[in-house]
Amino acid sequence: MVDIQAGRLSAAELAENFADVHRPFDHGGAVVEANRCYFCYDAPCINACPTGIDVPGFIRAIATGNVSGAAMTILKENIFGGSCARVCPTEILCQGDCVRNGPGDRAVEIGLLQRHATDHLDADGPHPFDRVPDSGKSVAVVGAGPAGLTCAHALARNGHKVTIFEGRPKPGGLNEYGIAAYKLPDDFAQREVAFITAIGGIDIQNSKALGRDITLDQLRLDYDAVFLGLGQAGVRDLGVPGSDLEGVDSAVDYIAELRQADDLGALAVGANIVVIGGGNTAVDIAVQSKRLGANDVTLVYRRGPEQMGATQHEQDFAQTNGVRIKHWLRPLQLEGDGNVKAAVFAGVHLEGGALVDTGEEQSIPCDMVFKAVGQAFVPLAGEGPAVSGGRITVDDVGQTSLPDVWAGGDCVAGEDLTVQAVQDGKLAAGAIHRCLVGS
């Protein structure tokens, strides 16, 4: 029986389920945790951070009561320090390399300390960064996600005028449309965008998509340089019979709908849900489905837990939130008579490095299926930059095969992480600035 409905939980229950999942430090707790840091002179946590934040430096500032100084140490390397403190997989980055990891000890809570510092920066005070006089140069940035906004902020600081073209109605990219609502609640993504653009010299034009409303050729004529922070707009399909049944949806699309919903109680969700995939998006949709009131949520992945794109922390979080995870199952087909009623999987195992069917099958009853098998870069029409392996080819500072076009974030090869997108935007902005001023 199909059971997809809205209003499974009360408004109070939904508010609790989608409140901030991270409990922040108070002042005393932050100081105590900061004093656990050894302040290593060759701190491996710095090297583990893609943006190179001076982690011991900002933690020492917290320990001595200089929280604003700590925030500036973070933001000068990562203008998205606030959201990265909330969404970064710190357990495999800075905290993962903390020297205190080991038997009988635990890593310093770097992510929570970073949040403490950035949260306590005076939002009503003057902007912490100064903008130099107008350079007379202009740059077009395509995409108002972390890569594009970081690039725009750095260029604006150097006096260049930046116009950001964003295909969606709001800026923010993944932070606005793709992150689980309990990780960035209370309109945090838009508040961060407002902080970043308060530097001045940045104009955001929403609902202006490349290929639909603007062309790369025209941007190259109208601006001195172009940065592409396009992300990955394509969604991979399952490629199995029944994928077009009612109740089968893209995890990315549903998360975006959830993120933009004024009333979570109005979102229809199934009673029994199957999520197919193994990345962080799969975990995010599985946990959010459960928190919307689904009775049973099963996440199915074709390989083992070690091969999942989702970190171990995210896998554990899913299971503590009532999500069942099943491994070594390959989707065969989705069954139903108009609406999906079951997802059928083949058992698999590794043989010579390849997945081979075991001959066993398993059917999981469901009334909703979320596809979370990855996103893909949508190639540009016309004479765009060179592409390799399905993504834009760039050098070590983000320059493409076109002399006046740079790119960064998920549309180029590399780690699909917010913090990596920030670093891409920062490096590209430096290269663009040097090119514009002739140094």
Instruction: Assign residue 110 the CATH number of its domain.
Output: 1.10.1060.10
Q: Does residue 130 lie in a domain region?
A: no
pLDDT in tens, 189-219: 999 999 999 999 999 999 999 989 999 999 9
Q: How far apart are the first and last CA of the chain?
A: 68
Q: What are phi and psi of 24, to 5 degrees?
A: -75, 160
Is the same domain home to 248 and 346? yes
DSSP symbols for 156-172? HHTT-EEEEE-SSSSS-
Is the same domain home to 259 and 312? yes
Close Cβ partners of 304 (under 8 Å, ≥ 6 residues apart): 327, 328
Q: What is the CATH number of the domain that holds 172?
A: 3.50.50.60
Q: What's the pLDDT score for residue 48?
A: 96
Structure pTM?
Answer: 0.94
Instruction: Identify the CA nearest to 309 among candidates 416, 411, 409, 414.
Output: 416
Q: How many helices (H) and strands (E) does the chain have?
A: 15, 19
Q: What's the pLDDT score for residue 416?
A: 85
How far is residue 273's CA from residue 418's CA, in Å, rounded to a whole number? 28
Is the same domain home to 242 and 271? yes
Q: Does residue 368 lie in a domain region?
A: yes
Is the same domain home to 333 and 265? yes
Q: What's the pLDDT score for residue 1?
A: 64
Tokens 């209370």 correspond to 186
Q: What's the pLDDT score for residue 384?
A: 86
Residue ranges in the chain whose pLDDT is less than 70: 1, 122-125
Q: Does residue 346 lie in a domain region?
A: yes
Alpha helices in 277-417 (DSSP H): 280-291, 312-320
Q: Does residue 16 lie in a domain region?
A: no
Q: Does residue 18 lie in a domain region?
A: no
Q: Does residue 124 lie in a domain region?
A: no
Q: What's the pLDDT score for residue 122?
A: 65
Q: Tally the domains of the chain.
A: 3
Q: Does residue 160 lie in a domain region?
A: yes
Give residue 213's domain range: 138-233+377-437
Mark which of 63, 84, 119 sits at the end of a domain: 119
Instruction: Identify the CA nearest to 30 among candidates 155, 114, 130, 127.
Output: 114
Token pair, residue 155, equals 């260029």
Mark which of 119, 146, 164 sits at the end of a domain: 119
